[in-house]
DNA sequence: ACAAAGAATGAATATTGATTCACTATTTCC
DNA sequence: GGAAATAGTGAATCAATATTCATTCTTTGT
C-alpha cells in the first residue's frame, strides 16, 4: 500500500470545502442563487470547476447546504431575541426588529431565503426554515394568548402574516436592487421603515396602539 | 399589385394573437412565467413556435403583455371593491377580501404577479402594478386617516404590509394551497383563512378588534 | 526515490430552451 | 389561373451553463 488518508489531508479537504461554501455564500449574497454560477464560485474559491464536484454532488446540493447554513444563522438570531427576559410582547417586538434589521442589512440574501425561486432540494430546506420561524413566532404568540397579553387568535396564521408583512416591506422594494445598482438606504429612513412595519405587526397581533 | 391587408385577415391575425396570449395566461396560471415554455405555449395555441415570433418581439415581450393584462384585471377588481358606498374601513375590508379570495382561486398566478422573479420588461410592469395597488390602498387609508376611522400612519407602508400579509398567507410555501398537493381547500377552511388574515390586517391598520 | 492512491484540473460535452430563417402555404387582386 | 404579397412552419442554430472525465499533480508509505 502507499497512500492512505491522513489527518492533514482531511483538514485540508475540509478547508477547501469550507472555502467553497463561503464563496458560494458570498455569490448568493450578491445576486441570489440563480445568478451564482459554478464558474464564478470556482474562480472566487480559487479552484477548478471540477473540484467543486468532488465536494458536492451537484450545484443543487451545494446550494442546499449554503441555504441551510444561512437560515440557521437567521433563525438562531430570532430565537435568541425571543429567549430574553421580559414580557412576551416586548420579546416578540425585539425578535421582529432583529428579523427586519438583518434583512435590511443583507437584502439580496433575505430575498433569496424568503422568496427567490430555487431548485427542489433548496426549496425543501426553505420549508424547514419557514417551519422553524413559524414555530418560534407561534410559540411566543401562544404564550401571549395564554397570559392574556395577546387576544385569542390563530397563532400559526398570525405568524405567517408577520413574516409576510416584513418580507414584502423589505424584499419588495429592495429586490430590484439586483436590477439597478441600488445604494443602501439612509439610516434614519431605515429606522422609520422598521418602526413602521413593527407598529403594523404588533398592532395586528395585539390590537394595541402604543 | 396583388395582395393587400384586408379586414378579414386583420381579424384572423388578431384572433391568433389573442389565442397566444390566452394560452400563455393558462401556462402561467399553471406553473408561473419561468416554466412557461414557448414550445408549450405554441403547442397549446396550435401554432408553430415561429408564429409566436410574428406576433411578439420576444418571449419577454409576450410575458410583459400577459402580465399587464392579468394585473389590470386584478387591480380593477380591487378598485371596484373600494369604490362602493359605505365607510372606509368597510370598503377596505371588502377590497382585502376580494384580493385574498381571488388569490386563493388562482394561487400560482397570484404568486407570479406578486413574487415570482421575472425578466426586466416584466419587472417594469410589476412596478406599475405595485404602484397601482399602493395608490388604491393608500388612497383609502389616507381617507380613513382624514376622517379619523384610522389612526395616523404611513399609508404607503401600511398598504405594503397588507399585500405582504395576504401574499404570504396565500401564496407562500406554507400556505395551505401549496403545502398539500395543491388540492383546493375546503370552502369553510378558506373562509376561516381569509377571515383570519383580514382580522390581522384590519387590526394592524386600525388597532381595533371587532 | 518510487509506486500506489487520491485529488485537482479544465477543456470538452451535454443539456435546455429561445430564436432564426429558408421554405411552404395562403390570400388577394387582376 | 397566376403573380405579388404576406403569414405560417419547424428543423436548425445559438447561447448559456452545468457536468464529466481523461489527464496531470500531490501525497503517502516503503
pLDDT in tens, A26-71: 999 988 998 899 999 999 999 999 999 999 999 999 999 999 999 9
Q: What is the DSSP letter of A176?
A: G
**What chain B residue is nearest to A154 in terms of C-alpha separation?**
B196
Q: What is the pLDDT of residue A183?
A: 54
Residue B57: helix, strand or coil by DSSP?
coil
Which residues are CB-neighbours of A8 under 8 A, at least 6 positions away? none
Higher pLDDT, B170 or A141: A141
A4 CA: nearest nucleotide by C1': D28
Q: Answer whether residue A180 shows pLDDT above 50.
A: no
Q: Which nucleotides of C are covered by protein (CB under 7 A)?
A: 2-12, 17-22, 27-30
**What chain B residue is nearest to A115 in terms of C-alpha separation?**
B115
Do residue A200 and residue B197 have CB atoms under 8 angstroms apart? Answer: no
CATH 1.10.760.10 fits B7-56, yes or no: no
- Taking the C1' atom of D27, which residue's CA lies nearest? A3
Residue A35: helix, strand or coil by DSSP?
coil
Q: What is the pLDDT of residue B159?
A: 93
Q: Where are the domains of chain A?
A: 63-206
Cβ–Cβ < 8 Å for B206, B149: yes
Please identify, in words, the CATH class of the domain defined by A63-206.
mainly alpha
Query: What CA–CA distance (Å, rounded) separates B84 from B106?
Result: 24
The radius of gyration computed from the CA coordinates of chain B, to the nearest angstrom, equals 20
Q: Is the CB of B7 under 7 A from strand D?
A: no
Q: Is the CB of A44 under 7 A from strand C?
A: no
- Alpha helices in chain A, H assignment, sequence order: 7-31, 38-45, 49-55, 59-82, 88-105, 107-114, 120-146, 155-174, 187-206
Contacts of B166 in chain A (CB under 8 A): 164
Q: Give distance CA B111 / C1' D8 (Å).
A: 34
Query: What CA–CA distance (Å, rounded) separates A103 from A101?
Result: 5
Q: What is the pLDDT of residue A168?
A: 85
For an interface test with B, the pick among A92, A124, A138, A161 (most B C-beta atoms closer than 10 Å) comes out as A161
Share of chain A above pLDDT 90, in %: 66
Which residues are CB-neighbours of A51 under 8 A, at least 6 positions away? A16, A20, A42
A2: left (phi over 0), alpha (psi -120 to 50) or beta: alpha
**What chain B residue is nearest to A209 in terms of C-alpha separation?**
B207
For residue A188, what is its C-alpha cell?
434614519
Q: What is the pLDDT of residue A177?
A: 44
- For chain B, say whether A177 makes contact (Cβ under 8 Å): no
Q: What is the pLDDT of residue A178?
A: 41
Whose CA is closest to B166, among A162, A208, A114? A162
Q: What is the DSSP letter of A85?
A: S
pLDDT in tens, A91-126: 999 999 999 999 888 888 988 898 887 888 998 899
Query: What CA–CA distance (Å, rounded) separates B31 from B28?
Result: 5
Q: Is the CB of A187 under 7 A from strand D?
A: no
Do residue A207 and residue B205 have CB atoms under 8 angstroms apart? Answer: no
Minimal Cα–Cα distance from B8 to chain A, Å? 43
Residue B118: helix, strand or coil by DSSP?
coil
Cβ–Cβ < 8 Å for A167, B127: no
For residue A181, what is its C-alpha cell?
445598482
Q: What is the pLDDT of residue B139?
A: 95
Residues 25-64 in B having a C-beta less than 7 A from any atom of strand C are 36-39, 49-50, 53, 58-60
The radius of gyration computed from the CA coordinates of chain A, to the nearest angstrom, equals 20
How many inter-chain contacts (A to B, CB under 8 Å) are there? Answer: 118
Do residue A200 and residue B115 have CB atoms under 8 angstroms apart? Answer: no
**What residues in chain B have per-residue pLDDT under 70?**
1, 173-184, 210
Query: What CA–CA distance (Å, rounded) separates B205 from B140?
Result: 11
Query: What CA–CA distance (Å, rounded) separates B29 from B187?
Result: 21
- For chain B, say whether A59 makes contact (Cβ under 8 Å): no
Which residues are CB-neighbours of A55 under 8 A, at least 6 positions away? A13, A16, A17, A20, A62
Query: What CA–CA distance (Å, rounded) separates A144 from A140?
Result: 6
Amino acid at each position: 500500500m502507499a497512500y492512505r488518508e491522513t489527518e492533514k489531508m482531511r483538514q485540508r479537504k475540509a478547508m477547501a470545502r469550507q472555502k467553497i461554501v463561503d464563496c458560494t455564500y458570498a455569490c448568493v449574497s450578491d445576486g441570489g442563487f440563480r445568478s451564482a454560477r459554478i464558474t464564478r464560485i470556482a474562480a472566487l474559491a480559487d479552484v477548478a470547476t471540477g473540484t467543486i464536484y468532488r465536494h458536492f454532488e451537484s450545484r443543487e446540493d451545494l446550494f442546499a447546504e449554503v441555504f441551510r447554513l444561512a437560515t440557521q444563522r437567521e433563525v438562531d438570531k430570532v430565537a435568541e431575541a425571543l429567549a430574553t427576559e421580559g414580557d412576551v410582547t416586548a420579546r416578540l417586538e425585539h425578535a421582529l426588529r432583529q428579523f427586519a434589521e438583518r434583512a435590511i442589512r443583507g437584502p439580496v440574501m433575505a430575498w433569496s431565503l424568503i422568496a427567490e425561486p430555487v431548485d427542489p432540494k433548496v426549496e425543501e430546506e426553505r420549508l424547514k426554515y419557514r417551519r422553524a420561524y413559524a414555530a418560534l413566532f407561534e410559540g411566543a404568540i401562544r404564550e401571549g394568548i395564554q397570559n392574556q397579553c395577546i387576544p385569542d387568535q390563530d397563532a400559526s396564521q398570525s405568524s405567517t402574516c408577520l413574516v409576510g408583512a416584513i418580507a414584502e416591506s423589505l424584499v419588495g422594494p429592495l429586490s430590484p436592487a439586483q436590477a439597478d445598482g441600488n445604494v443602501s438606504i439612509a439610516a434614519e429612513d431605515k429606522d422609520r421603515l422598521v418602526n413602521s412595519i413593527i407598529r403594523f405587526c404588533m398592532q395586528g397581533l395585539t390590537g394595541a396602539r402604543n
